[in-house]
Structure 1
Amino acid sequence: MYKLTALSLLLAAAYAQAAPQTVNCGRLLDVKAGKWRDNVSIVVDAGKVVSVGAMTGAPDALDLSRHSCMPGFIDMHVHLTGETQKQVDALRETLTLNPADHALRAVKLADRTLKAGFTTVRDLGASNGLSISLKRAIDSGAVPGPRMFTAGKSIATTGGHADPTNSLNERFRAALGEPGPAEGVVNSAEEARQAVRHRYKEGADLIKVTATGGVLSQARNGQNPQYTEDELRAVVAAAKDYGFRVAAHAHGSEGIKRALRAGVDSIEHGTLIDDEAIALFKKHNAYYVPTISAGRYVADMAKKNADYYSPLVRPKAIEIGNQIQATFGRAYKAGVKIAFGTDAGVFPHGENAREFGYMVEAGMPPLEAIRAATINAAALLDQSARLGSIEPGFAADIVAVAGDPLANIALLQQVQFVMKDGVVYKKP
C-alpha cells in the first residue's frame, strides 16, 4: 500500500509540473508591433508559449496584473566565467587557481545574470572549455543560468588580444610552448581554418575573432589590426562550412573594415567606426554590438583607481572606453543594425540592464533599445523562430517590471519576475 501511495504522489507531482500554466500580465509589450497589449494571459506548457490572449480568471495563474511583461532579454556579449577585478589579482589567480575554481565561481555569475532578466546570452570567449561546460550544466538543469550560445576559445593571432600567453614572462612561455590553432592562436589562413575546426571539436556554437588589439590585454596598442584580410576570410569561410556565425572584436577602424569586408556577422565594440565602415555594415548586412557598459566602466575605473589596471592598460581604458557611446549613437542614426551586448565580466555581472539607459542617452528610443535585446538579438543568433518575442511556439521566456519602461528605461534594472523555458526563477 505504501509503495502504491508513494508512486501515486510521484505521478501526481510529475503531472502537476507538466500541466499548463497561466501568467496574467497587466500589460504585455508586443516587441514586433511596438505597442502594449493590456490585460493579457499567457498560457505556457512544456517550456513554450501555447497562447496569448485576453486575461482569464484562472485560479492558479501567476498574478502579474500590476506589472509590465516583456520577452526575456538577450545579451549578445558576455563572459560568464570571469568577472572584473584588479589586474594584479587576476594575474595571480591565473597562476594559482585551477579551471575547476573558475567553473564553480561561474555558477553564481550565471544565476545573477538570469535573475537580472537575461534569459539568453552569447558568451564570447573562455579558455579551458569553461563556457561550454557551463552551458551543458545549465542545459541539463544542474545549475540555474541563462540559455547560452558560446564561442569557446576566442581566436587570435600571436600576441593578439586573445593570445593566452600575453601576460607571461619568457620562462613561463618557454615552459608552455607557443600556442597554436588548438589553443586559438593562428598566423596564416590555413591555421585560421584549423582553429575554426578545433572550436567545432570543442563544442562551440559560433566563432569569435579578435580582429584588433584590445583594451585589457597587456599590449600598448588597443586599436591595431591583427589579422590580414585573407586570414579573416579563411575564418569566415570555414565557419560557414560548420554553420557558425562569426563575431569580431574590433576597436580600430582598419580592423573593423577588414572584418566587415571578410564577411563577419557582427562587430563587437567598434570604437572607431568611420563613414566607410558604416557603409560596409550596410553593404554586408552586419550587426553592431556596442558594449557601451564595458567602455564606460573601464574608463571610470581607470580614472578613479590608478592601480586597478596595469600601466599599459590604463591609458587605453581612458582613451577607448569613453568613445563607444558616441560611436553607437552615430551608427544608430546612420541606420546600422544594432544588437544588444554589454561585455559583462569586464564589469560586474547582473548589471547588464544599465546598457539600455546608455543606449537611450545616446539617442535610441526605449522601444528600439528593447528590440535590440529581443528580436534583433534573436535574429543575429538565427533564433527568430523561438526567441525574442512572446507568441505561440516560442520559448516561455518572460520578464516583468513594475511600471512603464518605455517612459522610464531605468526600470529594466529592477526586473521583478523572470521565467525561462516555463520555469520561474524570480517572483515579485
Structure 2
Amino acid sequence: MKYAYTNGILLDGSRDMSPQTGRVILTEGENIEKIVSEGSDLSGYEIIDLKGQYIMPGLINMHVHLPASGKPQKKQQDNTKLVKLMTSNALMRKILISMCEGYARTQLMSGVTTIRTMGGVQNCDSLIRDRILSGEITGPRILASNMAVSVPGGHMAGSLAYIAHNAEEARAYVQQIAKDKPDIIKLMITGGVLDAKVKGEPGELKMPPESVKAACEEAHRLGMKVAAHVESPEGVRVALENGVDTIEHGAKPDDTIIRLFKEHNACHIATLSPALPYALFDRSISNVTETEQYNGEVVFKGIVECAKACLENDIPVGLGTDTGCPYTTHYDMWREVNYFHKYCGVSNTFALYTATKRNAELAGLGDITGSIEEGKCADFIVTKDNPLEDLTALRSISMVVTRGNVIRSPKVKKMPQVENELDKFL
C-alpha cells in the first residue's frame, strides 16, 4: 500500500526535534518514500488525515522479558518451577508462546514498534520474532536474546538463564544459544534486588571475570554483541573490563568505570521502571521487606547516577522498562520515558529522542528505524497531544504504524491497581 499522512504535526525523532507543520509523509510498503510539502501531488496514495495530531517514530524498548506481565505479587514466585512447568510438554509450551506473543502485541499497541528481549524461555523470543517477520502474527520488531547465561545461585539461574559452572561452560552456552540465531547474548553478571539477603548487598558479583570474558569472546566471534545484568559498581567494572557492550540497569560509576565505558565504546541502558516500586512505594503496597526496599533504593539511585554520569561524559544512554518485574507492564514504556525526564533531569525532547532515534542507534538499527526520514522504515505512532510539552501524551496512542501497516485506535488492557499506584509518581 501507498499512504500519504497529511495534516499532522511531525516530530522526526532527532535530538533537537521541534514540531513541523505543512509536511506530508509518503510511504510505500514498509518504507518512508518521501517527505513532501502540503499541496504536493498525492495521486496514487491513500490519504490518512491526521487531523492536527502529532506523528513521531515508534518507541523502542531496549529491555523486555516477554514471559511475565508485570502484575503485582504478594510474594516471590518460584521462577524455576514455573518455567519447568511451562516447558514440560508441547501443550504447555504452546500456551507459553501464545502468552508471549500476546505480550509482544501489547508492546506494539502501546506505541512500541521495536523491542529488545533480555532473557526469555528457551528459544521463544527468536521464534516469535520470526513469526512476526513472516507476517504470521502482528507484533513489534524484535531483537531477541532468548535464554541468558548465569551461574549457580545467579540471577534467573535455571529459569531464564542457563547455569554455567566455569568459563568453558559459559562459552559452550553461548554456542548453544547461538544455534537459534538470536540477535544478542545476555549475561547475568550480578545478583538483583530480590537476590540479596542483607542490606547493601544488591548487585553482588556472581559471575567470575573469566566466565564473562569467555562468553563475550565467543559471542563476538559469532558476530553478536553482549548485554549484561549488572547492579553494582563492581559488576559494571567486571563487565566492561571483560567485553560487555551494554550495561543493563547500572550502578553509581567512578572515574575508572567512566574510563572503561569510553575505552570499550560501551553504553548504558537505564531501567528506572522496575526499581521505582521497590524504592519508593510504601511497603504495604509493594509487599517487599525492609531489606528489599533498602536495596531497591540503592539500585534505583545507582541507575539514576549511572545515567547522569554517562550523559555528562558523552557516553550513550538508552532506555528500557525491564518489563516483567512487578508493576512494570508491557504497555508502560511511556512511563520509563517520563521517569528519565523526571529523575535524570533531561528535557522532554531529549527523553523522546532517547526512546526513538538514540535507542535505535544503540540497538544497531539506526539506519532502519528510530526517526522519520526518507528511506527508513515506516514505524510511527500518533498522539493527540504534544509529548514535547508533556510526556504523558504518550500514554494515549491513537494510531500505530509498524513496518507500514496501519493500526487505528490501538487498545490495551490495563491493570487498575498498577495504574493507580504508578500515577502517584508522574
Q: TM-score, normalised by structure 1?
A: 0.84
Gaps in structure 1 of 5+ consecutive residues: 1-18, 167-182
Tell me by how many angstroms 1:184 deviates: 2.3
Tell me by how many angstroms 1:153 deviates: 0.4
SS in 2 for 1:70: strand
Tell me by how many angstroms 1:137 deviates: 2.5
Distance (whole Å) between structure 2 residues aligned to residue 412 and residue 35 of structure 1 = 16
Aligned 1:219-368 pairs, distance under 5 A = 221-300=201-280, 303-305=283-285, 308-309=287-288, 313=292, 315-321=294-300, 323-346=302-325, 347-361=328-342, 362-368=344-350
**1:171 alignment counterpart:** none
Distance (whole Å) between structure 2 residues aligned to residue 63 and residue 122 of structure 1 = 32
Describe the shift of the 1:311–1:405 C-alpha distance in structure 2 as closer, same or farther (beyond 3 A).
closer
Distance (whole Å) between structure 1 residues aligned to residue 290 and residue 177 of structure 2 = 33
CA RMSD of aligned residues (A): 2.5
Deviates most, 21-30 or 192-201: 21-30
**1:379 alignment counterpart:** 361
**1:209 alignment counterpart:** 187
SS in 2 for 1:66: coil
Mapped contact 2:253–2:309 kept (Cα < 8 A): no
| Pair 1:40-2:40 in alignment | no
Tell me by how many angstroms 1:315 deviates: 4.9
Distance (whole Å) between structure 2 residues aligned to residue 20 and residue 426 of structure 1 = 16
Which of 93, 98, 103 matches 1:99? 93
Distance (whole Å) between structure 2 residues aligned to residue 25 and residue 139 of structure 1 = 31
| Pair 1:113-2:107 in alignment | yes
Residue 316 of structure 1 aligns with an amino acid whose one-letter code is: N
Tell me by how many angstroms 1:292 deviates: 0.6
> What's the CA shift string for 1:161-194, capped at 9, x where partnerless?
131169xxxxxxxxxxxxxxxx622232222221
Distance (whole Å) between structure 2 residues aligned to residue 28 and residue 108 of structure 1 = 30
SS in 1 for 2:331: coil
Residue 134 of structure 1 aligns with an amino acid whose one-letter code is: I
> What's the CA shift string for 1:34-71, capped at 9, x where partnerless?
33321211111121111111124748411114111111
Describe the shift of the 1:375–1:282 C-alpha distance in structure 2 as closer, same or farther (beyond 3 A).
same
| Pair 1:153-2:147 in alignment | yes
Describe the shift of the 1:277–1:218 C-alpha distance in structure 2 as closer, same or farther (beyond 3 A).
closer
Greater CA radius of gyration, 1 or 2? 1
Percent identity over the alignment is 27
Tell me by how many angstroms 1:22 deviates: 1.1
Tell me by how many angstroms 1:253 deviates: 0.4
Residue 271 of structure 2 aligns with an amino acid whose one-letter code is: T
> What's the CA shift string for 1:303-322, capped at 9, x where partnerless?
2336x457985553354245
Distance (whole Å) between structure 1 residues aligned to residue 150 and residue 269 of structure 2 = 19
Tell me by how many angstroms 1:90 deviates: 3.4
Residue 161 of structure 1 aligns with an amino acid whose one-letter code is: H
Residue 36 of structure 2 aligns with an amino acid whose one-letter code is: G
SS in 1 for 2:172: helix
SS in 2 for 1:247: strand
Tell me by how many angstroms 1:328 deviates: 2.6
Q: TM-score, normalised by structure 2?
A: 0.85
**2:388 alignment counterpart:** 406
> What's the CA shift string for 1:326-362, capped at 9, x where partnerless?
4433432343211121111211110111011111112
Deviates most, 157-166 or 357-366: 157-166
Mapped contact 1:329–1:359 kept (Cα < 8 A): no
Distance (whole Å) between structure 2 residues aligned to residue 394 and residue 94 of structure 1 = 38
Distance (whole Å) between structure 2 residues aligned to residue 151 and residue 202 of structure 1 = 10
| Pair 1:421-2:403 in alignment | yes
**2:162 alignment counterpart:** 184
Distance (whole Å) between structure 2 residues aligned to residue 105 and residue 87 of structure 1 = 22
Describe the shift of the 1:72–1:157 C-alpha distance in structure 2 as closer, same or farther (beyond 3 A).
same
Gaps in structure 2 of 5+ consecutive residues: 87-91, 411-426
Residue 202 of structure 2 aligns with an amino acid whose one-letter code is: G
**2:131 alignment counterpart:** 137
Give aligned pairs, total: 393
Tell me by how many angstroms 1:104 deviates: 2.1
Mapped contact 1:302–1:318 kept (Cα < 8 A): no
**1:3 alignment counterpart:** none
Describe the shift of the 1:94–1:216 C-alpha distance in structure 2 as closer, same or farther (beyond 3 A).
farther
| Pair 1:195-2:173 in alignment | yes
